């Protein structure tokens, strides 16, 4: 029996943001592999084997998924958001390249999902309406000096920034350093959006200035968006709208 492997994005949290394509893949799966809280989002049913594992076991679960598919199982590896954005798709291909040659000929598909940055941007308005970049602030897989260099260069290039994994219990100080780098480069006036657990029951959205942003405003369930120099805030009777205009120009002398 020929197996298959699908790497799927479950979206940012709410079931309404799981794409129909991903829902169909889960309905046909014999095995679901992923990080504990993401596997917990998949309803159990007869004939479905669930394989949850720890957050830092990406290559191990990728290898497990490839092995199960090679044995003829129909496997879905789940990630939150989109599997290709700081998630499991890269780990699967890393494991494939390092593993047995026969894994390279498996039936593998990657199904996109709604990323945290796009869900957060939609809640706030259109802060990513012009050029932007995404940076993962976790230093688990890359050194902090590289993160700081990329932050500084992206800020100097005047991108809006979507910052993933800003702060955790094991990394309480990195986000404070990131905010300091951004203030040094951008000043204090830029709008900052703290979007926590978007589309879930715990959703919270906060808009402030870079000068007023504090490390404790973020945790691992928070996506942080820092505007560019052109990003605008429209005051309303409720939460403000934040958007970045579609046009940009060079400053005098550039």
pLDDT in tens, 140-195: 899 999 999 999 999 999 999 999 999 887 777 889 999 999 999 999 999 999 99
111: which 2 tokens? 């199904």
Confidence band for 253, pLDDT divided at 50, 70 and 90: low
Q: How far apart are CA 37 and CA 54, in angstroms?
A: 9
Place of tokens 């703290």: 194
29: which 2 tokens? 């799966």
Spell out the domains of the chain, with CATH numbers in brackets: 4-114 (3.40.1010.10), 117-243 (3.30.950.10)
- Identify the residue with better confidence: 64 or 249: 64
DSSP-H helix ranges across the chain:
20-27, 36-39, 58-70, 88-98, 116-124, 144-156, 174-186
Does 254 score more than 70 pLDDT? no
Which pTM was predicted?
0.93
Is residue 168 packed enough to be buried (19+ CB in 10 Å), middle (13-18) or exposed (0-12)?
middle
- The reported pLDDT for the residue numbered 252 is 63
Is residue 156 packed enough to be buried (19+ CB in 10 Å), middle (13-18) or exposed (0-12)?
exposed
3-state secondary structure of 97: helix
Q: What are phi and psi of 196, to 5 degrees?
A: -105, 130
Return the bridge partners of 209, or none: 191
Q: What is the mean pLDDT of the chain?
A: 95
Place of tokens 């994005």: 9
Return the bridge partners of 5, or none: 75, 108
Return the bridge partners of 243, or none: 126, 232
């Amino acid at each position: 029996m020929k197996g298959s492997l699908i790497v799927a994005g479950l979206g940012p949290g709410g079931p309404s943001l799981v794409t129909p394509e991903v829902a169909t893949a889960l309905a046909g799966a014999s095995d679901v592999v992923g990080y504990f809280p993401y596997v917990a989002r998949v309803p159990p049913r007869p004939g479905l084997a669930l394989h949850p594992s720890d957050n830092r076991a990406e290559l191990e679960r990728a290898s497990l998924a490839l092995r199960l598919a090679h044995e003829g199982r129909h496997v879905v590896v789940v990630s939150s958001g989109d599997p290709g954005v700081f998630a499991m798709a890269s780990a699967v291909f890393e494991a494939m390249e390092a593993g047995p040659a026969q894994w390279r000929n498996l039936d593998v598909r990657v199904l996109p999902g709604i990323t945290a940055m796009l869900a957060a941007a939609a809640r706030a308005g259109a802060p990513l309406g012009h050029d932007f970049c995404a940076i993962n602030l976790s230093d688990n897989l890359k050194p902090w000096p590289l993160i700081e260099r990329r932050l500084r260069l992206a800020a100097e290039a005047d991108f809006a920034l979507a910052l993933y994994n800003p702060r955790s219990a094991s990394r309480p100080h990195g986000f404070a350093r990131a905010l300091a780098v951004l203030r040094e480069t951008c000043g204090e006036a830029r709008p900052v959006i703290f979007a926590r657990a978007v589309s879930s029951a715990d959703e919270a959205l906060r808009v402030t200035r870079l000068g007023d942003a504090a490390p404790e405003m973020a945790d691992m369930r928070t996506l942080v968006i820092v505007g560019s120099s052109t990003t605008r805030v429209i005051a309303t009777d409720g939460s403000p709208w934040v958007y970045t205009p579609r046009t940009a120009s060079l400053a005098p002398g550039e």
